[in-house]
Each structure stands twice: as structure tokens, then as C-alpha cells.
């Protein structure tokens, strides 16, 4: 019964900030690579940010570099996505995912990830 639960989404205005949280339980994931994806209506689910098991390496998609930061606190079984300077094009459902086969490699494709949260809605108005 592996479970990933996202929280922190909401409705904000352009330029505002949000911090998303993903709490995992049911099996140890503190030594696994994890990531955030997002999916807007009518579009494919896309990679946003990834982090290695101990937070030593992170990767962000080009459209969010300089604005978003991914981090984790394994003592709290939690992964975070800090989102600053939000834009309307950031509007999407944001999903947390875990790759049980990887601890030091960050994969970019959704097929690589084994467990997913239910998603949290982020809406950015003009």
C-alpha cells in the first residue's frame, strides 16, 4: 500500500508563490529518486523537476529554471516543490512520482516512475 499524497496547490495570481508537498508512505522511498510532473488539459504529462535520493542532484525543465526549486527532507518522508514567479502557463495538475529502480539517476519520462500521487491543482490567473 504505497501512497504518495500531494498538497499545497491552489488559485493564485501571476507573480505569486506556492510550495507543494508530497508525503510518501507504505514503503521506504527515502533512498529513491523522485520527481514532479504536471499535466494541463489537452496536453501530455510533462517532467518538471527531479531529485536524487539525498538531494545531491536536482534537475529542472527549462521553462521553470530560475523560478522553481525541488528539495526533500527524508526524515519527514517529504519532497517539496517551491514555485516562485508563477505564470498562467504554469497552470496544471501537479503530480509527485517515485522511481524505485533509481537512487542516483533522474529520469525524464513518466514511464520510468512506479508510484504516483493523486495530483494537486495549481491555477495561476492573469
pLDDT at 67: 98
User: Residue 61 in contact with residue 47, Cβ under 8 Å?
Assistant: yes
Phi, psi of 24 (to 5 degrees): -115, 150
Could you read off the pLDDT of 88-125 as tens digits, one per residue? 999 999 999 999 888 888 999 999 999 999 999 999 99
The grid coordinates of residue 59 equal 534537475
Residue 1 has pLDDT above 90, yes or no: no
List, for residues 2-32, the tens digit of each pLDDT value: 999 999 999 999 999 999 999 999 888 888 8
| pLDDT confidence of residue 16 | 98
Asked if residue 76 has pLDDT above 90, the reply is yes
18 and 26 in contact (C-beta within 8 Å)?
no
Amino acid at each position: 500500500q504505497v501512497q504518495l499524497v500531494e498538497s499545497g496547490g491552489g488559485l493564485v495570481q501571476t507573480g505569486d508563490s506556492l510550495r507543494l508537498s508530497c508525503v510518501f508512505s507504505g514503503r521506504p522511498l527515502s533512498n529513491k529518486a523522485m520527481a514532479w510532473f504536471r499535466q494541463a488539459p489537452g496536453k501530455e504529462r510533462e517532467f518538471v523537476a527531479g531529485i536524487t535520493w539525498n538531494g545531491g542532484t536536482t534537475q529542472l525543465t527549462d521553462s521553470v529554471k530560475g523560478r522553481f526549486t525541488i528539495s526533500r527532507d527524508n526524515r519527514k518522508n517529504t519532497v517539496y516543490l517551491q514555485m516562485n514567479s508563477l505564470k498562467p502557463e504554469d497552470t496544471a495538475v501537479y503530480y509527485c512520482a517515485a522511481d524505485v529502480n533509481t537512487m542516483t539517476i533522474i529520469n525524464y519520462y513518466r514511464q520510468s516512475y512506479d508510484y504516483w500521487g493523486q495530483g494537486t491543482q495549481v491555477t495561476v490567473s492573469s
